[in-house]
Amino acid sequence: MTAPQSLPREPRVIVCAGGGGVGKTTTSAALALALARRGHRTLVVTIDPARRLADALGVTIDPLPHVVHVDPATGDRLYALMPEPKASTRTFMEFLFRDEPASLERLLANRLFQALSDALAGMHELVCMTLVARAASEHTFDYVVVDTAPSRYALDFVSYPPRLAALLESRALGFFGTLADRSGTSASGETESAAAALARKGAEAALARGLGGRLVLDLTGLFSEMLRVRERFAGLANQSSRLLLGESSRYVLVAAPTGSALADVRFLARKLEKLGRRPAGVVLNRADIAARAWAAPLLDDPGTPPALGAALRQLEAERTARTAAADQMADVLAHHLASVPRVRLPFVESRSPADIVLRLADEISSGVSVLAGA
């Protein structure tokens, strides 16, 4: 375990990423459950909550973490945090501008903000990480498992906080400031080369012409409001970055032998490489259906009714197809991500999400040390 420190201990973050439809949320929950079974206080955070799973784990879609009692073996060590993605931007702005009510009002009335607020990148992720940081300060977790949104671009969110903060840095604000009043002087006192000045002037002229005066006014208004909360925003962004990109954070890629999952994993691995990180492991979910020992005696028995025989043959055909697809995928991964450990998980035939999580937690337990470094 971690050595005692003077600062409050920050949890170890495990980011799970993968394309859609690979069972990433379930896998994340299973990994968290397996960690809690081993005695670690663990929080699983779902960026894009699946209500079915939330219901199954007995937690609500809420900005606060809830203890999960789906398995007695985890005691009070497993928590789930599933914040509602809708209205994230507004909630976040209300938080950012809590000391600046007039500014908040202007911001919410800004037409450009109204048009874009639904679509601000990574706002929900940032809200989630802010909630994680708050939860971590209140609960002392050993591990936080973050289930990202089902997208190839899900990992981008680890760089959103600094990106959003960069947007608000003074040089960018100064630029938009000068756009509003092109006769005014640049807000940035930095000296620039002749080429840079030319490029800036060109961009200014082109933007002012292309966007039109009114839009530029809305744009600059938006920036001047954001400037007021820049420090608070940067603080949150840095906190998120530290959690997500800190030295102890790990990245787990989740795939299943279906659709674009394999390409997604390779794409995400390349993204990680650009961030200077390597995946701790690749989980091959729904890769196998355990051989059904009971199928053979029924199939071999001439007394088995035809309808049963047909159903059995269908099940066997499915099993063979799935395993073949998983084997092929494992081969490709072995070739392209040779040094990344693979953890193979079975296809769990059940209608209960809680049951699936419990069974996957059994299966993942041997891979926990690889994935979580536990």
Partner 1 sequence: MSAPPRPALARVALVTGKGGVGKTTVAAGLAVAQVALSGSAALVEFGDGESGLRALGRQRGVDHIVIKPEEALTRAASPLFGNGLLAKVALGNFAVKRMLKAAPALRELAMLECIRLVAAEKPRRAVIVDMPATGHGIAWLRVPRQLREVSQSGPFFELCDRVARELVTPGRCSPVVVTLPEKLVLKETLELCESMASVVGLPAARLIVNRMPTEIAHEAVVEAERIAAGDSPRATAARSLAEVLRTRETARQEALTALDDVRTGSAGLAPVLLPEAPIDPTATQVAEWLRTGGALP
Min CB(264)–partner 1 separation in Å: 9
- Largest distance between two CA atoms of the chain: 93
Residue 50 as a binder of partner 1 (CB under 8 A): the answer is yes
Residue 64 as a binder of partner 1 (CB under 8 A): the answer is no
Q: Which is nearer to partner 1, 76 or 192 (CB)?
A: 192
Q: Which is nearer to partner 1, 73 or 207 (CB)?
A: 207
Q: Which is nearer to partner 1, 52 or 98 (CB)?
A: 52
Query: Which bin fits 151, alpha (ψ -120 to 50), beta or left (φ > 0)?
Result: beta
Half-sphere exposure of 264 (CA within 13 A, CB side): 28
Report helix, strand or coil for 27.
Answer: helix
Residue 21 as a binder of partner 1 (CB under 8 A): the answer is yes
Q: How many residues does the chain have?
A: 374
* CA 69 – CA 15 distance, rounded (Å): 23
Residue 209 as a binder of partner 1 (CB under 8 A): the answer is yes
Min CB(10)–partner 1 separation in Å: 27
Q: Which is nearer to partner 1, 102 or 324 (CB)?
A: 324
* CA 293 – CA 311 distance, rounded (Å): 15
Min CB(174)–partner 1 separation in Å: 8
Q: Tell me which of 1, 297, 302, 339 binds partner 1, using CB under 8 A.
A: 297
Min CB(279)–partner 1 separation in Å: 19
Q: Which is nearer to partner 1, 231 or 349 (CB)?
A: 349
Min CB(75)–partner 1 separation in Å: 29
Q: Tell me which of 321, 331, 336, 369 binds partner 1, using CB under 8 A.
A: 321
Q: Contacts with partner 1 in 158-177 (CB under 8 A)? A: 163-164, 166-167, 171-172, 175-176
Q: Which is nearer to partner 1, 30 or 370 (CB)?
A: 30
Q: Contacts with partner 1 in 73-132 (CB under 8 A)? A: 85, 111-112, 114-116, 118-121
Report helix, strand or coil for 39.
Answer: coil
Which pairs with CB-CB distance under 8 Å and at least 24 residues apart come from 322-327? Answer: 322/257, 322/286, 322/287, 322/288, 322/289, 322/347, 323/287, 323/288, 323/289, 325/257, 325/258, 326/257, 326/284, 326/286, 326/287, 326/288
